[in-house]
Each structure stands twice: as structure tokens, then as C-alpha cells.
Amino acid sequence: MLAALAQPRRLEAFRELVRAGPGGLAAGALAARLATPPSTLSTHLRMLETAGLVRSRRAGRHIFYAVSFEATRAFFSFLLEDCCGGRPEICAHLRPACPQTEAAA
């Protein structure tokens, strides 16, 4: 997952999909937002999907991509647990950085 997000264009696509929410975006709309050729974006989206960060669904002639929020949440939780050495209170100040987390708390 880290390798998938390490490439700037993939990170940009991931961030745009996070902003789009659970419904995601059609591949063409995402390509237009990122000013990226569809074939190039397709390669990046495939890497994000292989990493488990993004999922796709077909609707007619369009393919929609959306962030897998469950997998992303598990990934971030793993990173925080690992970096905090099993002491979550060390990383507690990081939790409010996400507005959705604040609303859920």
C-alpha cells in the first residue's frame, strides 16, 4: 500500500477519490480532474486497486472507482499502532486531524 501511494500521480488520484466519497468517480471524470490521459490513469488505478486501496465497479459503459475506506482505515490503524509501539496514547493527537474522525468521535 505504501508503494502504491508513493507515486505522486497515484497519491493525487487517491486523494481525489477520498474527496469524492463512497460513490467514487467515473474513470473519465477522474482523468479530466487530474488532467491525465485515461490510459495513464488506468495504470495508476490498477496499482491502487491491486494494493487494496481502491475498488472498481462497472455501470454500463463506465467504470467507477472509489476508495476502499475499510481497507484504508485498517492500513492507517496498522501504521499508527506500529509507529506508536503498542502505546496508542502516543499517537492520540493524530486522530483529530481527519474531520470525519472528529465527527465520529
Predicted confidence band at 53 (pLDDT cuts at 50, 70, 90)? Answer: very high
Asked if residue 45 and residue 80 are part of one domain, the reply reads: no
Asked if residue 42 and residue 13 are part of one domain, the reply reads: yes
Asked if residue 81 and residue 62 are part of one domain, the reply reads: no
Domain that holds residue 81: 69-104
* Number of domains within the chain: 2
| Spatial separation of the C-alpha atoms in residues 55 and 46, rounded to whole Å | 9
The DSSP secondary-structure symbol of 8 reads H
| Spatial separation of the C-alpha atoms in residues 77 and 97, rounded to whole Å | 14
Residue 82 is predicted with a pLDDT of: 67
Asked if residue 61 and residue 73 are part of one domain, the reply reads: no
Check whether 105 has a pLDDT greater than 70: no
CATH number at residue 63: 1.10.10.10
Sheet of strand 54-59, all strands in order from the earlier edge strand to the far edge: 25-26, 62-67, 54-59
Residues 37-63: what's their mean pLDDT? Answer: 95
Residues 55-75: what's their mean pLDDT? Answer: 94
Check whether 55 has a pLDDT greater than 70: yes
